[in-house]
Structure 1
């Protein structure tokens, strides 16, 4: 195994800034929010997803890696070393999923959706995308949205629109999505409702 790349240069300040960025994205669905400080990370883990991992993961939050990430031992080692998070092979028990190939992602139903009593036990899926500006336009309404908000992430999981509709029907259960690319993040919480043609 190669020498592990470092985490944040200033762990406390960078984690605080990243946390604020992620929370801002969640509060304003589909809005692209810049992440001020992103670390070096073992490929194919991108810097923005790595920053989110360093900020949100801990020893109580099991993490599932999609096959392209799981095949690179340095990725799991980097996550364990910097966050203490356990790596799991079953998506249903993961608090977080890191996804480098959204088009090949397993169905949302394979991940924890929480329960009516504890909807906060659902999974957050962190999808690495190539763009948050040039993908197909999908409009959403819901909390935090003034009028409509447009998501333009790509690539997206297969059957994305249908899966989002099914996920919304589970509310207050359901997974939450974060999209990470080139130092930016956007969010699609389970409360967002897809509108228009699908």
Structure 2
């Protein structure tokens, strides 16, 4: 379990090692899109920021990474204060200027095109969407792409009803597009822009 400091704005007790553990889980998730990875977090951030969203934020954000918050997170001044205190990341109002965007409600995801898509010479200058979901499911989507042997079943709720179409359009724009990190209680999965939904399952990994 990840240790955290006590106090009104509690963060990791051992920031370096705790951030390394979270970062390793995220790298495994990115390397195997759609495969759920454990992500233990005992952080107690201000609501509605979940412990898993907070752990990802503390592992990835710093003073040079502009962050955008969805309406639910932005409505809590304590959330922005928590992120600024522990990471120094500036909170921006324009989603197109954010390197990371955090969502307390996966169902309310704006169109992916609202966020930075990267540039032809610098596709990494895009936004990574970090999204809280209630749980992961095995089957609603069938994914293919690098890091997947054949195909892989994947699902998470709640997400927008047109999520598969969004994922298809996002993959079609490669090397531009956004990457997604989905956080459920105790777990994380990633859907980088290299992944595509497919209509007919073959051999699942």
Q: How much has 1:157 moved relative to structure 2?
A: 2.5
Does residue 168 (structure 1) correspond to residue 171 (structure 2)? The answer is: yes
Higher strand proportion: 2
Q: Which residue of 1 aligns with 2:32?
A: 28
Q: Which residue of 2 aligns with 1:8?
A: 12
Distance in 1, Cα, partners of 2:89 & 2:8? 16
Distance in 1, Cα, partners of 2:80 & 2:161? 25
Consecutive unaligned residues of structure 1, counting only runs of 5 or more, are: none
State TM-score, norm by structure 2. 0.91
Q: How much has 1:9 moved relative to structure 2?
A: 2.2
Q: Which residue of 1 aligns with 2:157?
A: 154
Distance in 1, Cα, partners of 2:38 & 2:129? 19
Answer with 4-13 or 82-91: which moved more: 4-13
Q: Which residue of 2 aligns with 1:41?
A: 45
State TM-score, norm by structure 1. 0.94
Q: How much has 1:28 moved relative to structure 2?
A: 0.3
Distance in 1, Cα, partners of 2:78 & 2:39? 23
Q: Which residue of 1 aligns with 2:79?
A: 75
Does residue 124 (structure 1) correspond to residue 151 (structure 2)? The answer is: no
Q: Is the CA contact 1:132–1:151 (under 8 Å) kept in the aligned structure 2?
A: yes
User: Which of 87, 91, 95 is equivalent to 2:91?
Assistant: 87
Consecutive unaligned residues of structure 2, counting only runs of 5 or more, are: 1-6, 201-205
Q: Is the CA contact 2:118–2:176 (under 8 Å) kept in the aligned structure 1?
A: yes
Q: Which residue of 2 aligns with 1:196?
A: 199
Displaced runs of 4 or more, over 6 A: none
User: Which of 95, 101, 105 is equivalent to 1:97?
Assistant: 101
User: Which of 137, 141, 144 is equivalent to 2:147?
Assistant: 144
User: Which of 115, 119, 136 is equivalent to 1:111?
Assistant: 115
Q: Is the CA contact 2:41–2:51 (under 8 Å) kept in the aligned structure 1?
A: no
Number of residue pairs the alignment of both structures matches: 194
Q: How much has 1:158 moved relative to structure 2?
A: 4.1
Distance in 1, Cα, partners of 2:84 & 2:107? 26
Q: Which residue of 1 aligns with 2:4?
A: none
How large is the Cα RMSD of the aligned pairs?
1.3
Q: Is the CA contact 1:142–1:191 (under 8 Å) kept in the aligned structure 2?
A: yes
